[in-house]
Amino acid sequence: MPAQDIDRARRFYSQTLGLVPTDDTADGLTYELGQGSRLLVFPSSGKASGDHTQIAFSTADVEAAVEELRSRGVQFEEYDLPGLKTVNGIADMGGRRSAWFHDSEGNLLAVTQPS
């Protein structure tokens, strides 16, 4: 995930998402996410478009995850598109339920509850 301000991104991923980097180098911040998954947040002069999902975090209860993140200041996107409509920030897509939000750098992230 590109970050124009790595310190701001570190605060967001730590304070808002509750993640702690397992590696913090000049190349960026590495987060271990479980089941062998890793996330690298790296310094970049580029700006994220924010118009497509760059990472989705799986959860057993998307409503609880959205509520918890909202309590930490996260604002969820609302969509009303053909084939994708959110209600209170959450879309039901044939059993899979998802909600989208932006990180401090403009990257589009999601929380999703598999069917």
Compute the average pLDDT of residues 20-30: 95
- Say which DSSP state 62 is in: H
C-alpha–C-alpha distance, residues 19 and 13, integer Å: 6
The pLDDT assigned to 41 comes to 96
Q: Which CATH superfamily is domain 2-113 in?
A: 2,3-Dihydroxybiphenyl 1,2-Dioxygenase, domain 1 (3.10.180.10)
CA pair distance 98, 100, nearest whole angstrom: 7
- Residues of the chain with pLDDT > 70, as a percent, come to 100
pTM of the model: 0.92
The per-residue pLDDT for range 78-111, each reduced to its tens digit, is 999 998 999 999 999 988 999 999 999 999 999 9
- Mean pLDDT of the 68-75 span: 97
Mean pLDDT of the chain: 94
